[in-house]
Structure 1
């Protein structure tokens, strides 16, 4: 029995024009980049349901919040690397978060952050996303799965506090 495996994707790490570390699935033009070695992806075979579904007449009506998660494409969609019990320290307001996603991201989907309820940054197929020059203080962060411009699933929103050095402005 032959199994077709997808070609390995390459991830490139480089320093952008502002001196920030950035990651991309394509090498940047005119900028030196190094290939990032990623661990092999886990895969799980399709599992059969444990019991048959109850008849429609016996199923209670779901609330709007529950129905939004019914038929979710990803059984796990959450942010990682965000401390919730203590402040996140990022002296220049720049930090990276991870996305835990199961099963792995489908080819037609992209990930986009939602910072304080507003879409943030460019959609990406890389499960490491960078935030740049974020103000200190309390924030919320989530991640969306996009199909084109449409949100197909969103992670729970995570509150966090960003701590960064405040440099007083000297007046002459």
Structure 2
């Protein structure tokens, strides 16, 4: 296994050490290539070493002005369609909420609903979200814009009360 690993490492390192050649083509233009052309006098080009910087942790936090605040991808992201001053009447616990978003949802992004701070349902790209069979009582709701498992942005959390008819 040691020789196989060394061989693979050598194969990876060889392209990094490839030589560059400079020559003049048939039209008199200067050209560069990683292989010298046949029948043409080519000169190897000596490249300077690559710049590298090693950072040392200082243990000090960056000054406030140096820390860049993350920019929101969306100017507006909020839930609408929920009553704020009275209970939401949903006898079977089913209702919809709308997502107000500006600009429009971008390519790979999806909406993910959070009910009581937990993901609810499947992520999707439609700004109308349905909740089914939600228990009566106080709940919180927010929407996230996600890209895969990465949260891009989250709306403010909205608190609301579901009122259902209780049948004995």
TM-score for the superposition, normalised by structure 2: 0.60
**What's the CA shift for 1:151?**
1.1
- Which blocks of at least 5 consecutive residues in structure 2 are unaligned? 1-62
Alignment match, 1:151:
151
- Which is higher, the Rg of structure 1 or of structure 2? 2
Query: For 1:76-125, what per-residue CA distance to the aligned partner results, in whole angstroms no more than 9, with x for missing partners?
Result: 00000000110000100000000000000001100010000101010010
Alignment match, 1:164:
164
Aligned runs of 1:13-28 on 2, under 5 Å? none
- Which blocks of at least 5 consecutive residues in structure 1 are unaligned? 1-56
Instruction: Output the aligned Cα RMSD.
Output: 2.0
Aligned residues: 107
Alignment match, 1:59:
65
**What's the CA shift for 1:149?**
1.6
**What's the CA shift for 1:61?**
6.2
Alignment match, 1:37:
none
- Aligned partners of 1:160, 1:61: CA distance in 2, in Å? 36
Alignment match, 1:119:
119
**What's the CA shift for 1:58?**
8.3
**What's the CA shift for 1:143?**
0.1
Alignment match, 1:108:
108
TM-score for the superposition, normalised by structure 1: 0.58
- Aligned partners of 1:114, 1:125: CA distance in 2, in Å? 15
**What's the CA shift for 1:150?**
1.4
